[in-house]
Amino acid sequence: MPAPHGSMSILKLGGSLLNLPDVSDRLVSFIDQCQIANPVVVVGGGHAADLVRTWADRFKLCDPVAHNLALQAMTLNAQLLSHLHTRFELVSAPLHANAVCPPQQISILQSQSAIAIPEAKLPKSQHLPRSWDVTSDSIAAWLATCWKADRLFLLKSTDLPGDVLADQPDSDTAHQQRSHFVRDLTQRGLVDHAFAMFSQTIPSLTWCNLRDWPAELRSF
């Protein structure tokens, strides 16, 4: 179903998907077929962030320095993606949630500058932590929370394992089920360790294997 008027959806595009020559067409197809209004895309670091991890280990970089370089890797990937389709628009922040982006526009976010905007209004204790526990999944969730987005889509290169949530008690509430689900994803290394903290208040979370699109969507 299409999103309600004035809503906002954050789409975290895994950086590994940038090795697909048709990644832009897949992303546009996903957004159109799911009828996603006001899409804002956060692009992961992918191979560029992996290089930063190598540098951090080799040169013993402190976490804040390495994290800043990783954010620059995400920005580099966003700049690349923005050139791959005429509907993509590189932005530093989304339009206000009560506004509607220009018809057909898909906002590609420059994560580094986007993070600075809410941080300027928040106390230091609520700033995004600078550590390897916070990767692009948590950055997308943190931004979705700051902007009160209605939905966060995790566009990945893999399906969810078939046994995820297999052991959930029927008596669990929706909140408990999500907590168990996210903990399971974290233990399997499918999301980072900070994701549980930043995603808990987002109304809807959805997983999609974009590498195998059209594919089943899993919401939790």
- pLDDT, position 33: 96
In 61-171 the beta strands, taken as DSSP E runs, fall at 88-91, 106-109, 151-156
- pLDDT, position 3: 42
**Domain 9-219, classified CATH 3.40.50.720, yes or no:** no
Residues 6+ apart with CB under 8 A from 96: none
- pLDDT, position 79: 97
- pLDDT, position 136: 96
- pLDDT, position 48: 96
Give the distance between the most distant pair of CA atoms in the chain. 50
**Cross-strand bridge partners of residue 11:** 41, 153
- pLDDT, position 98: 44
Tens of pLDDT along the chain (220 residues)?
A: 344 445 789 999 999 999 999 999 999 999 999 999 899 999 999 999 999 999 999 999 999 999 999 999 999 999 999 999 999 999 988 754 445 567 789 999 999 999 998 999 999 999 999 888 899 999 999 999 999 999 999 999 999 887 765 555 555 677 778 888 899 899 999 999 999 999 999 999 999 999 998 888 988 8
What is the per-residue burial (b if ≥16 Cβ within 10 Å, else e) of 89-112?
eebebbeeeeeebeeeebbbbbbb
Radius of gyration over alpha carbons of the chain, in Å? Answer: 17
- Distance (Å, rounded) from C-alpha 145 to C-alpha 137? 12
Answer whether the bond into residue 214 is a cis peptide, omega within 30°.
yes
DSSP 94: P
- Distance (Å, rounded) from C-alpha 39 to C-alpha 151? 10
- pLDDT, position 97: 42
